[in-house]
Amino acid sequence: MTTTALATTLPAVPAGHYRFSGILRAEWTKLRSVRSTTWTLAVTVVLSIGLGILATATEASRWSHASLVDKLTFDPTSLSLTGLLFGQLAIGVLGVMAMSAEYGTGTIRATFAAAPNRLSVLVAKAVVFTTVALVVSEVVSVAAFFVGQSILAGSAPHATLGQPGVARAVFGGGLYLTVLGLFALGIATIFRHTAGAITAFVGVLLILPLIDSALPTFLSNAISRYLPATIGAAMTTVHQGFRGDAPVFSPWGGFALLCGYTAVTLVIGAVLLVRRDA
């Protein structure tokens, strides 16, 4: 009777198919077991913390000779988080690889055979990647901040988490990296090709700002605030409002816009994932 009752309680699952919890476990196994994950996360850590150390050490050594303008506009929090703007490349590559690697090896066919609901696969990949990226990004951002401030202490003004806007910038930096990596995953879902997806991601992140800087000032100022790189810079600085002569969105306003970009790429990717052959 127990067996009969259990059979009527649990929903039937076709042989060889998995529930969502099983898909989550499978995606976690895939992400943690491939060498590219270890390397990209290591590069994210090294770039984010290492470049922050380099930036703060350089500023600390020349602080006594800095100009009055530099001293008045000095932002120790943003300086220590400088490396995040380079670590974003590594976390973006991880986001691309989380989706495109299976297309490159052809194992995506086995994945869809075991889990025919392709949207479930995409959601599982996004959940697993977001969890890993958020933990790593926040740890890296906090570590870069504390290491950077310890270098500045005694030589130049330094910040603490209790000061206005500092905690927002530090934890916002981790959120920025996480959502940017998820944006890259969405691009990879659209392109299905590692090289193409990375090229598109780098184009959005680095090439568009270069093109924008070559435009007339009035046009450049109007466009630059919408670029992910500008949003990231605004999120990791304590001073809000303007960066130079170009207006920017508030940190959380820009973050909401970045989340919107990410949602759009994931929705487009989801539609194409369902419609196209594996």
| pLDDT of 4 higher than 50 | no
pLDDT for the residue 8: 47
- Percent residues over pLDDT 70 in the chain: 91
pLDDT at 240 over 80: no
Confirm whether 36 is domain-assigned. Answer: yes
Domain count, the chain: 1
For residue 245, the model assigns a pLDDT of 56
Residue 240 counted as domain residue: yes
Does any domain span residue 13?
no
pLDDT of 264 strictly over 80 = yes
Range of the domain at 168: 18-275
Residue bearing the bigger pLDDT, 243 or 84: 84
Q: How confident is the model at residue 247 (pLDDT cuts 50, 70, 90)?
A: confident
Which whole number is the average pLDDT over 145-172?
Answer: 92
pTM: 0.88
Per the model's pLDDT, the better-predicted residue between 247 and 41 turns out to be 41
Whether residue 229 is contained in a domain is answered as yes
Residue 29 has pLDDT above 80, yes or no: yes
Question: Which pLDDT band holds residue 273 (cuts at 50, 70, 90)?
Answer: very high
- Amino acid at residue number 5: A
Q: 96-109, pLDDT tens digit by residue?
A: 999 998 988 888 99
Average per-residue pLDDT for the chain: 88
